[in-house]
Amino acid sequence: MPAIAYLECSRCHARLSADTPQTLCTQCPDQPAGALYVRYDLTHLHGSSPSDVVGQTASQPWSGMWRYHAVLPSVEPVTLGEGWTPMLRSKRHRGVYLKEEGANPTGSFKARGLSMAVTMARHYGLRKLAVPSAGNAAGALAAYAAASDIEAHIFMPRDVPLANYVEATAYGAKVTLVDGVISDCARIVGERKQHEGWFDISTLKEPFRVEGKKTMGYELVEQLGWEYPDAVFYPTGGGVGLIGMWKAFEEMEQLGWVKPGKRPRMFAIQSSGCAPVVRAFDDGASASQM
C-alpha cells in the first residue's frame, strides 16, 4: 500500500502535509478554499500490471474496494465489505451496464466514501465526526463510526425519510432533526464544530471520501476488461463520485493500466430540486455551488 506523498489543492495546487487531519486548503488566496486531493508516491508501481497488485498480496487477500489497496492509503481499513458491486447488463439496451451500488453494506455508494473517511479518522485518532445528511450518508457514517468506536453526530432535515433516520439511530449515532433543508444542517455543523470538537466530514470538506468513491472508477474499468466505457451516466448531488472516478482514470493512465487518450464522457444526472452540477454547467461556471 502506498505512502501519501502530499495533499494537493484542487484550485491553487498548493501542497499540504497529510501527517495531520486536513479539511480545505489553507493556502488559497481566494475564498472559498479548494478541496484537497490525495497524491501518492506510485513510482514503485510503474511498469506493473493490474494483476500484479490488485486483490492479492503475499500477506493477505484484499476484497471489496480494498482490492485496490495499491492506490489507497497505507492504513488498516474500517470495512464492512463495501465495494466490488456487480455490473448488470441492461435487458433493454444491450450496450448498457448498470453498476448496482445498492449492494453496498449500507445500501448506497456512500459506504465507499465513509469507509475510507472513517478509516482515516481512526488513523488520525479523531473521536467525534459530524455530517449534514438528507439520507444515505447518515446511515453510512453511523455504521462505520460504530464499527470503529467513534462518535457520529448527524444533522438531518426533519422531513427526511423515516428509514434513514432509523438506520442512523440504530447504529448509535447522535441524530438531530432540523427544521429546514440540508444547507441549514450544514450551517449548524459549521457553526458548532469548533466548540464541540467535531471533525467535519461533509462532502468535499475532507480529502478521503473522494478516495473511497474513486474505487468505482477502478471497478467499472476492471469489470470491462481494463477498458474504458464510452460514457458514464451518474445520478448525483454534489458530484463527488464523478470527481473520484475521474481521479481514478488519471491514476490508471499514469500507471499504464489503461490506454491513455479518450476518457469516458461523464454525465451528471440530477433531480430538478438538487442540481448544482447541471446549473453550473448550464451557466458556464467554473465551479458548482450547493
Tell me: pLDDT of 271 over 70. yes
Q: Is 202 exposed, middle or buried (0-12, 13-18, 19+ CB in 10 A)?
A: buried
5 — pLDDT class (breaks 50, 70, 90): very high
Task: Give the pTM.
Answer: 0.93
What confidence score (pLDDT) does residue 62 get? 77
Query: 76-89: string of b/e by CB count within 10 Å (b at 16+)?
Result: ebbbbebbbbeeee
CA geometry: angle 152, 189, 39, nearest 5 deg: 75
122 HSE (CA, 13 A, CB side): 20
Q: What does the pLDDT read at residue 46?
A: 85
Residue 189's pLDDT is 97
pLDDT digits (tens, 9 = 90+) for 97-141: 999 999 999 999 999 999 999 999 999 999 999 999 988 999 999
What's residue 279's pLDDT? Answer: 87
Smallest CA-to-CA distance from 215 within 45, 55, 72, 7 is with: 72
Residue 264 has pLDDT above 80, yes or no: yes
Question: Looking at the predicted structure, is the pLDDT value of residue 1 above 60?
Answer: no
pLDDT digits (tens, 9 = 90+) for 141-189: 999 999 999 999 999 999 999 999 999 999 999 999 999 999 899 999 9
